[in-house]
Structure 1
Amino acid sequence: MTTFESAPLRGRMSPAGLAFLAVASIGWGLNFPIMKHLLTEWPPLTSRGLSGIVGAVALALIAGARGQALRVPRVLWSRLLLVSLLNIGGWVAFMGLALLWLRASDAAVLGVSIPLWVALVAWPILGERLSATRAVALLIALGGIAVLIGGGGLDASVDKLPGILCAIAGAICVALGTVLTKHFPLALPPLSLAAWQVGIGCIPVAIAGLALEDAHLAALSTSGWASMIYMTLVQFCVCYVCWFAALERLPAATASIGTLLVPVVGVLAASAMLHETLGVRELVALAVTLCSVAVALRS
């Protein structure tokens, strides 16, 4: 799940827009347990990086088929590189690493905190003051994170701390990339922009994975290959195509709030697919985080 700036939104709310939004949100939510499962067979940087590169090529082909220009003006290259490394590279790398320590449901809950970090980062960069409402929302979100950290006692909290820090680092990278995109707009068609960002962001992740990790194709089972195909075609292609289609048909606030479905799907899917515990702690952390983001989006 990633935040991109798009062209000005057009059109009123439509059933088709809601359907596209549902497909994107459900697809991104299912990706958390699928990523977690894949880690039992392939390391995080290699799997995330390579699937992203292939997904970027597919997105570029889709953009070309829809008549969207892929050429990047020379003046935009430095901005594009910086934003791509933050928006995609940071998210892909840190969230993949986070799943080495965290359950898929915990990662899904932490990932949805991106809008709160956007509000925090926008203060020094864009001069957007942190309103009292958003400050309260951030404190509530930190409370939800505290619930995740505190579950299972001190030993469990220490064990999962590296994963929590990685997940928060990934969310902050996306927030910083989003704010910088607002500060230095990238005037590119949406699907073309997505293709470039995914490709540029995933190349260094894949290189790091191939250099530092031990990945062998023979280690992938049938379900492992299915997970790779899902991450490539559904996460990076179908979900982004549906996301931009939803943005063309829905108000921005509706689309943003609609993405709150992502962690709900992630938590429920992790329980069903990976048999992760779905208890009071998980439900409280999810509810608190969703409430904080909803408050921030409405402020």
Structure 2
Amino acid sequence: MADLDAKPLGWAFLSVTALGWGLGWPMIKIAMEDWPPLFARGAAGLVAAFGLLAVGAVRRDVLLPPRSACGPILVAAFTNVFAWMGLTALALLWLNVSEAALVTFTMPIWATLFAWPLLGQRPRLADWAAIALGFGGLVVLFGTRPDGAADDLPGIGLALTAAICFALGSVLLPRPVPLTPTVRTGWLIGIGSAMMIAASVVIDWPELGALTGRGAAALGYMALFPMALCYLAWFAAASRLPVATASTGLLMIPIIGAVSTALMLGEPLGPRAAVAFALTLGGVAIAMRSSPAAL
């Protein structure tokens, strides 16, 4: 009975996670109207990190990681936060949300490929089908554009780099870290966001007074939901649902992101994007379910 009760609650947490993370895409676009992408996302991340660590302190969790975990945490902060969140935000300078979201969510396909030489997990027939579908969707999205994709190559490269870095981090880094999920996430987001702020100092320091009420509201949403509460909801969902089921449910994120951005900001979303989403996310779903390394 307990298991039966856990699954509906798990699906509820998963729905909150997908909706919150999906709506984060148009919010970062709004914030980028006032501040540069790395600074905007990094500032929201630092606020979220302090909030998560404060929750851990109230719960009397262990806050300081052991010395042996510092290296893995730093690497994970770079691959899973700085690269994943920072480079995708930069990619939005060239790409629409639908394009950037679809490219970055090829991460499980890259993880399947990396698991072969790094972990000795040879791809099976289903994995090759996933890879073919995933890349087929990208060809439809970028290769069939009437105006070509040459002008958007920097954005495509940044989004691909984000997906590849996240995949490498998922394959190479050890899973267990002796911290609660809340504290671990706080450290990862805090360190990765500090990296974004540092990079923004070098690349494009913002005019702090340029932040409008609309931009501040978008930053507040990003800090409270995608970078804080949604992570907690994700951990709650993952503890109640099979890993493959929970991970596959996250495929709603790029769809929610693309549709909400089209509705809120008027970005184009046509039949070509729909076909590309169906192909690539179908491949990602197969990769998630057939290969543990892709989860």
TM-score, L = length of structure 1: 0.91
Q: CA separation in 2, counterparts of 1:93 and 1:294?
A: 24
Equivalent position of 1:3 in the other structure: none
Equivalent position of 1:54 in the other structure: 47
Equivalent position of 2:80 in the other structure: 87
| Residue type of the alignment partner of 1:59 | L
1:245 aligns with 2:214: no
Q: State the Cα distance separating 1:267 from its structure 2 match.
A: 1.4
Q: Classify 1:11/1:169 alpha carbon distance in 2 versus 1 (closer, same or farther; 3 Å).
A: farther
Q: State the Cα distance separating 1:98 from its structure 2 match.
A: 0.4
Deviations 1:105-154 (A, max 9, x none): 1112122211111111222222222222112211211111112212433x
Equivalent position of 1:7 in the other structure: none
Q: CA separation in 1, counterparts of 2:3 and 2:68?
A: 31
| Residue type of the alignment partner of 1:86 | T
Deviations 1:73-118 (A, max 9, x none): 1111112111221111111221111000000111121222111111
Q: CA separation in 2, counterparts of 1:67 and 1:246?
A: 23
Q: CA separation in 2, counterparts of 1:265 and 1:239?
A: 15
Q: CA separation in 1, counterparts of 2:205 and 2:148?
A: 28
Q: State the Cα distance separating 1:47 from its structure 2 match.
A: 0.8
Q: Summarize the alignment of residues 226-265 of structure 1 with structure 2, pairs less than 5 Å apart.
A: 226-265=217-256
Equivalent position of 1:280 in the other structure: 271
Q: CA separation in 1, counterparts of 2:289 and 2:48?
A: 33
1:108 aligns with 2:118: no
| Residue type of the alignment partner of 2:38 | L
Q: CA separation in 1, counterparts of 2:58 and 2:238?
A: 19
Paired-residue identity, %: 41
Q: Which runs of 5+ in 2 are unaligned?
A: 291-295
- Give the secondary structure class of the aligned counterpart of 1:70: coil
Which residue, out of 51, 70, 73, partners 2:66? Answer: 73
Q: CA separation in 2, counterparts of 1:188 and 1:124?
A: 30
| Residue type of the alignment partner of 2:212 | S
Which residue, out of 65, 68, 90, partners 1:97? Answer: 90
| Residue type of the alignment partner of 1:175 | A
Q: State the Cα distance separating 1:217 from its structure 2 match.
A: 2.4
1:213 aligns with 2:204: yes
| Residue type of the alignment partner of 2:94 | W
Q: State the Cα distance separating 1:214 from its structure 2 match.
A: 3.3
1:171 aligns with 2:150: no
Q: Classify 1:50/1:90 alpha carbon distance in 2 versus 1 (closer, same or farther; 3 Å).
A: same
Q: CA separation in 2, counterparts of 1:22 and 1:284?
A: 24
Q: State the Cα distance separating 1:67 from its structure 2 match.
A: 3.8
Equivalent position of 2:172 in the other structure: 180
- Give the secondary structure class of the aligned counterpart of 1:100: coil
Q: State the Cα distance separating 1:156 from its structure 2 match.
A: 4.0
Q: CA separation in 1, counterparts of 2:114 and 2:92?
A: 25
Q: CA separation in 1, counterparts of 2:223 and 2:166?
A: 20
Q: CA separation in 1, counterparts of 2:57 and 2:121?
A: 37
Q: CA separation in 2, counterparts of 1:125 and 1:244?
A: 27
Is the 1:33–1:105 Cα contact (8 Å) retained in structure 2?
A: no
More off after superposition, 280-289 vs 103-112 = 103-112
1:148 aligns with 2:141: yes
TM-score, L = length of structure 2: 0.92
| Residue type of the alignment partner of 1:30 | L
Which residue, out of 110, 124, 127, partners 2:120? Answer: 127
